[in-house]
Amino acid sequence: MEKNFLLLNCKLALFGLSLTACGNENNSTTIPDLTSKKPNILFIMADDLGYSDLGAFGGEIRTPNLDKLATEGKILTDFHTAPTCSPTRAQLISGTDHHLAGIGAMAELMPEHLKGKPGYEGFLNERSVSIAEVLKDNNYRTYISGKWHLGYTPETNAHAKGFDRSFTLLNGLDLHFKQAPLAYNRNATYTEDGRKLDISKLPDHFFSTDYFTDKLIDYLDSGKNSNQPFFAYAAYTAPHWPIQAPLEYRERYRGVYDIGYDAIREARISRQKQLGIIPSNFTAAKPIPSKGILFKTWDELNTNEKALEARRMEVYAGMVENMDYNIGRIFDYLKANNLYENTLIFFVSDNGAEGSIILPHGEESGFNNSLANVGAESSYHHIGPRWAEVSAAPFHLWKDTAAEGATTAPAIIKLPNQTITSKKAHHSFASILDIFPTILDYANITPPQNSYKGRIINTPSGYSWRPMLENKTTTIRPENFTFSGELHGSKHARQGDWKIALQANPNLGSGQWELFNLKTDRGETQNLASQYPNKIQDLLRVYQQYTIDNNVLEYKQ
């Protein structure tokens, strides 16, 4: 074990030679001239990618294309999403809180008492104006390839929401290969330009990330001779479960994870400190206590269990590397066609790592979940809570909770025609809600207010990053800003450095509102509720105002 741990640290140290520390906000930057030509816009979203998975964020997974993007642009170390996928996508596309946009709860998890209520339609509602619609109306070509998850009907799919060309998975997940066991009830819907596709019509070599990339490049190529700028949205389903990858990627990380959860996690956190992603005195979240057969520690696993756990993470890492390779294909296409320099590029994950215990489809569905078959088209696995704690490092918990590990995601942005002499990071709070106004700011388009083309809309509520990106401000929001969220009964509210959180799952919290000072404890290791009862009350008022402003209703299962 010691040998493997040293080998891993050596690999990370070598990786560090190619990435300068990014904590310094004063590195020299050439601000692009955007007055002459509107920029192209490329938005890339990963699915359930954890904060520490990328090399640029301290991970051991090989992600050279995204790491290079980070050296060209800027990392946001305090970027936040909604706790799960479709609420985040609703916030991205509409620029408003997901309760206003129609995804007050995920459609798959919508309780009967909320179904159909305003804000709980389960799809992107008519009070939401799509960023693609606004850009299309301002002479942009608009493309999406990948996961939509914001509506299943012709009126609510991507084609109806402003995308000129679209290849989309309407569901929240699917198998990543075309092949599926005959006994498996594959409830997945793909569309192209609004028309449903029979899965049997997909090419036999279909692998989700590869094919989504193929389609997006095809769309870009179809309009390359146009004088119009483009907005392209690469909405990958990797590395969302089931964890599957092409054979060559399944084999690339053999043995790397045999040293277990803690050794990998500690190495990632150490690397994050070296890179300046987190301060050197950062206190990382503690792994949650073992509870019987749930949340076993590495030492509590037997030999066979350790082998299966390590293999799952090997395949997960292969999925991430494959995604990075495909992102590199898009970059290569843009460079080959002289489009890269004038492209505003965003990369984010849609939420934190997935730590839920997913009930596997087994032999009754035709899957072979043996150790030798993990990651193949006939397998159905997830990484589970302990690897999710690694993926979310250094933060607490994971997707679909009220913790920092649910909503803190990796984010990278590169401006068009930008030259940066050394890598930089920005450390103030940023939100997925900010993408909408930032894109329109760089496209020189006034954000819609209250109404759009004759219909009443919810006004986008985020902050443009442009002043920060062009070194005109040091923070994105005012010093004592407020920000709150709720999903599936998990709730949180923030004012400045202070945060309260209430976990819906009693196994993951105290069952009461907890209080944290994020300036000194972003790892959420010290609950200060008993010491500062007045601060709890202040933040409860912030949360209550949020529920009023965003029509948040009580979620009951």
Pairing of strands 419-420, 40-46: unpaired
Neighbours of 43 (CB within 10 A): 19
Q: How far is Cα 510 from Cα 289, in angstroms, rounded to an integer?
A: 13
At 549, list the tokens. Answer: 């402003």
Q: Which of 22, 80, 85, 99 is catalytic?
A: 85
Contact 410, 54 (CB under 8 A): yes
Q: Which amino acid is at 149?
A: H
Contact 67, 54 (CB under 8 A): yes
Q: What pLDDT was estimated at residue 359?
A: 65
Q: What pLDDT was estimated at residue 36?
A: 57
User: Which DSSP symbol is given to 368?
Assistant: -
Question: Does the annotation mark 85 as catalytic?
Answer: yes
Q: What pLDDT was estimated at residue 41?
A: 99
Nearest to 475 by CA among 460, 497, 491, 459: 497
Q: What pLDDT was estimated at residue 357?
A: 78
Domain 40-478 has CATH 1.10.10.10: no
Q: What pLDDT was estimated at residue 12?
A: 42
Question: Does the annotation mark 149 as catalytic?
Answer: yes
Q: For 249, list phi and psi in degrees, rounded to 5.
A: -80, -25
Omega of the bond prior to 242 within 30 degrees of 0, cis? yes
Q: What pLDDT was estimated at residue 15?
A: 41
CA dist 529 to 165, 241, 417, 523, Å? 51, 36, 48, 16
Collapse the DSSP code of 458 into the 3-class scheme (helix H, G, I; strand E, B; otherwise coil) and give the result. coil
Q: How far is Cα 210 from Cα 325, in angstroms, rounded to an integer?
A: 9
Q: Which of 149, 159, 361, 381 is catalytic?
A: 149
Task: Count how many residues are written for the chain.
Answer: 557
pLDDT tens sequence for the chain (557 residues): 333 433 444 444 444 434 444 544 444 344 455 445 899 999 999 999 999 999 999 999 999 999 999 999 999 999 999 999 999 999 999 999 999 999 999 999 999 999 999 999 999 999 999 999 999 999 999 999 999 999 999 999 999 999 999 999 999 999 999 999 888 889 999 999 999 999 999 999 999 999 999 999 999 999 988 899 999 999 999 999 999 999 999 999 999 999 999 999 999 999 999 999 999 999 999 999 877 667 899 999 999 999 999 999 999 999 999 999 999 999 999 999 999 999 999 999 999 999 987 766 666 778 999 999 999 999 999 999 999 999 999 999 999 999 999 999 999 999 999 865 445 899 999 999 999 999 999 999 999 999 999 999 999 999 999 999 998 999 999 999 999 999 999 999 999 999 999 999 988 999 999 999 999 999 999 999 999 999 999 999 999 999 999 999 999 87
Considering the entire predicted model, what is its pTM?
0.93
